[in-house]
Structure 1
Amino acid sequence: MNANQQLILDLIRDVPDWPKPGVVFKDITPLLADPRGFAAAVDELVALAPGPIDIVVGMEARGFIFAAPVALKLGAGFVPVRKPGKLPGKVHEQSFALEYGHETLTIHTDALWPGARVMVIDDVLATGGTVGATAALIKGQGAELVHVAVLMELGFLEGRGRLVELGAGTLSAVVTV
């Protein structure tokens, strides 16, 4: 483990029984409040990019926080994937199951183009539902999902295996717990 990874782990706190009993929520707000920690997280995510990237996609809401600065550092565009009713104009939708409920995500119908090299960035990989739904939205527009990078992978939930089944491409995590 490098110094950046240790700093990141030290700044993420566990919140037991949130948002429901039995769930241990990984709270990134202390990481975001620390400029060294936030910069380390962005640098580590940038380092996971496999070659040139046209678009970085981040999902609502915590994925936005990391995806936008990663896109800037990579010289790529940023495309948000949002919950229904948040994007104006025409959108594609994809529903999926979460570890504690169901959700739907949307993307503008003209956000990507066939052959665009896309990297997905998110804060946490849990069961893989959010990333899997995002992968389906990207592929639905003919873009190439070249890589998924997450700040933290919750390995015990086996989301990585689910993403392989969904054909979501390669995945890297800055830290795995």
Structure 2
Amino acid sequence: MEKQFDEMLHEFINLNIQGVDLENEKELTSLYISEKNYQERRNMPSNASTGVIVRVGDICYIDYGKAYQREIGYQHFGLVLSMCNDKIFVVPMTSNKKSYMQAMSEDNPNGKSHLLRFKKVGNMKNDTVLFLNDVKFINPARVIDVKGHISKNSHLFAYIKMAVMNIIMK
């Protein structure tokens, strides 16, 4: 049995090394940060012990962890849409300029319907894009920091919720 464990451990380490472009500093840094966050936070039922309090409408810096193709991964912003059973329902965001140009907005009504432009709020540095088709429930321990807030009673928040519902119910 011990030999099997040693073989699995060796293969696990090799798979993780092979899966990373060691010459791509940005990718390696994101992977390192996510792994470090996971090790520190994986047993936390919430982020209360980190001192970060999350509310509906908060724009948070979140560690989404590893991702498959076409999924949000690593560290990105996200908008908290709701809270349920000790999890938060978030819409991931990116400041990628190409995604921003393709995203739907009032001034670009023919943009891609799963991308929604979002103006910077609070301590955000850039305008961003909401990935409406990447909404998910996550453990609040994934939240690193709160960077801004929009009122859950605002027209903008209602518009975003409706856009999410339209994508989910397509």
Same topology, TM > 0.5? no
TM-score between both structures, scaled by the size of structure 2: 0.30
Instruction: Name the one with the larger strand percent.
Output: 1
* Largest Rg, 1 or 2: 2
